[in-house]
């Protein structure tokens, strides 16, 4: 089993009510990244966010109205990755997950990828890959200032579906530019709305009726063509001659069709969460095995990193049973804080489900849970700093995990 690490850089009060300054947040993050490199974690995945979560609470329709502080401080993965790479020796770096709808859109993001890897690859001995996890972005307000919002009533009533299709359009542009192609917008797949895109006949009927009004149609349409979001003449990004072997792409989407579509252009792997049902995990592996771009080689389970919250207690002075109990209490406290921040209420069922999907306890507990729940060839993205700003404790947990838990999981003990 392979082990990566996830850095959230989330500046919000932890379960103790403590909220660090921005400078302290970044200092802790870099300290933990250096420690992760020393301990042998494979990839350091850095969460990316955009714009202030706190300020958006004042908007007419805030996405997370109860979230105190900032959901994430890394708004520029490329600069952050450069700093981490300069301070580490073995650990690779990845974005988890970069929105290609925000920060100028897919064209600007494609240019930044080429620029970062050009600079990174100037050292001929450098073999560490940059892992670009990309998505539409979790919070819609982060992309709206960049024009990703409904342009008319038809787009408004179909927005939940249409936003995903805009991401599909953006993904094709992003991937083809990264591949070094010269493209114009007429070469990009057109966007249509159809019945199969919607969950119910009622939703589809509303879209059809709105199309009749907006487009002056005589009867309900079976297909509705939506004008392109990105219009441009021939373009190519520069630099062009960078080493694409140093790039690994990972899609942050559960859209089955899109997982297949993006692999028409380049090898693109898939993110997944620990809370995803086992049958969906296996379906995804089967789908990717059949559709993963041939340039990426045969599909392997490790190509789908899985996020796992780790609540490990290996603190001195406690018995093994006391460590197990303390870890469980720490997990419940952090998860309650999270759901309260996210939704404004604490749903006991959601708390328990999250607890059930984390790994919790002393060294042996956590090793047993990993061995029982995951395939030996899986790649786990460990999240240690989940609502925890105690930097020294996080580093102790990281060290106990890699020096005590991992050997047990992988047969070394």
pLDDT digit string, tens, across residues 249-291? 999 999 999 999 999 999 999 998 767 888 999 999 999 999 9
pTM for the model stands at 0.94
CB atoms inside a 10 Å sphere around CB 77 = 27
The CATH code for residues 2-140+239-409 is 3.20.20.30
Burial of 178 (0-12, 13-18, 19+ CB in 10 A): buried
DSSP notation for 332-387: HHHHHHHHHHHHSS--HHHHHHHHHHSEEESHHHHHHHHHHHS-TT-EEEEE--TT
What is the arithmetic mean of pLDDT over 100-126?
97
pLDDT at 402 over 90: yes
47 within 8 A of 74, measured Cβ to Cβ: yes
Residue-wise pLDDT for 115-147, tens only, equals: 999 999 999 999 999 999 999 998 889 999 999
Contact partners, residue 272, CB within 8 Å, separation at least 6: 281, 284, 304, 305, 306, 307
**Which residues is 379 bridged to in the sheet?**
2
Which tokens belong to 115?
A: 């620029």
3-class DSSP state of 7: strand
Angular region, 192: left φ>0, alpha ψ -120 to 50, beta rest: beta
Q: List the chain domain ranges.
A: 2-140+239-409
Among the listed residues 349, 332, 348, 317, the one whose alpha carbon sits nearest the alpha carbon of residue 387? 332
Tell me what percent of the residues of the chain surpass a pLDDT of 70. 95
**Range from 153-157, 185-189, 297-301, 348-352 carrying the lowest mean pLDDT:** 348-352
- Residue 37 and residue 326: Cα distance in Å, rounded? 28
**CA angle centred on 107, ends 105 and 108, rounded to 5°:** 70
Burial of 244 (0-12, 13-18, 19+ CB in 10 A): middle
Q: What is the mean pLDDT of the chain?
A: 94
142 within 8 A of 102, measured Cβ to Cβ: yes
Strand pairing category for 224-226 and 2-7: unpaired
- Residue 276 and residue 278: Cα distance in Å, rounded? 6
Peptide bond into 350 cis (omega under 30): no
Give the distance from CA 232 to its chain's centroid: 28
**Range from 149-153, 192-196, 352-356 carrying the lowest mean pLDDT:** 352-356
Which secondary-structure segment (H or E) carries 410? Answer: none
| Residue 352 Cα distances to 25, 80, 356, 389, angstroms | 29, 34, 6, 23
39 within 8 A of 399, measured Cβ to Cβ: yes
pLDDT band at 346 (very low <50, low <70, confident <90, very high): very low
Residue 168 pLDDT: 98
Residue 188 pLDDT: 98
Cα dihedral 249, 296, 380, 93 sign: negative
Among the listed residues 149, 140, 156, 135, the one whose alpha carbon sits nearest the alpha carbon of residue 56? 140
Residue-wise pLDDT for 315-336, tens only, equals: 999 999 999 999 999 998 888 7
């Amino acid at each position: 089993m392979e082990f990566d690490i996830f850095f959230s850089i989330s500046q919000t009060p932890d379960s103790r009510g403590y909220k660090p300054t921005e400078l302290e947040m970044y200092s802790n993050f870099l300290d933990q990244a250096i420690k992760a490199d020393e301990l042998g974690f494979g990839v350091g995945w850095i969460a990316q966010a955009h714009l202030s979560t706190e300020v958006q609470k004042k908007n007419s329709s805030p996405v997370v109205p109860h979230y105190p502080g900032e959901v994430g401080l890394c708004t520029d993965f490329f600069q952050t990755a450069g700093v981490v790479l300069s301070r580490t020796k073995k650990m690779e770096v990845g974005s988890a997950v970069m929105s290609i709808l925000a920060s100028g859109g897919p064209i600007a993001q494609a240019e930044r990828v080429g620029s970062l890897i050009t600079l990174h690859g100037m050292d001929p001995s450098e073999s560490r890959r940059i892992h670009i996890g990309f998505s539409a972005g979790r919070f819609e307000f982060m992309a709206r200032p960049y024009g990703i919002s409904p342009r008319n009533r038809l787009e408004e009533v179909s927005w939940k579906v249409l936003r995903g299709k805009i991401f599909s359009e953006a993904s094709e542009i992003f991937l083809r530019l990264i591949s070094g192609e010269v493209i114009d917008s007429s070469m990009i797949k057109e966007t249509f709305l159809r019945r199969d895109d919607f969950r119910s006949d009622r939703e589809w009927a509303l879209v059809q009726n709105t199309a009749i009004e907006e487009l002056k149609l005589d009867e309900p349409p079976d297909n509705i063509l939506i004008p392109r979001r990105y219009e441009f003449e021939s373009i190519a990004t520069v630099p062009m001659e960078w080493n694409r072997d140093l790039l690994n792409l990972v899609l942050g989407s559960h859209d089955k069709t899109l997982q297949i579509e993006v692999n028409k252009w380049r090898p693109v792997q898939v993110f997944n969460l620990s809370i995803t049902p086992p049958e969906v995990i296996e379906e995804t592996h089967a789908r990717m095995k059949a559709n993963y771009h041939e340039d990426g080689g045969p599909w392997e389970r490790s190509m789908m990193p899985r996020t796992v919250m780790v609540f490990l207690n290996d603190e001195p002075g406690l018995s093994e049973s006391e460590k197990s109990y303390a870890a469980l209490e720490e997990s419940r406290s952090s998860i309650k804080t999270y759901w309260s921040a996210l939704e404004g209420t604490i749903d006991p069922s959601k708390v328990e489900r999250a607890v059930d999907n984390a790994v919790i306890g002393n060294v042996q507990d956590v090793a047993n849970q990993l061995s029982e729940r995951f395939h030996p060839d899986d790649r786990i993205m460990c999240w240690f700093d989940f609502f925890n700003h105690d930097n020294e404790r996080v580093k102790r947990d990281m060290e106990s995990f890699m020096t005590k838990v991992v050997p047990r999981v992988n047969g070394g003990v």
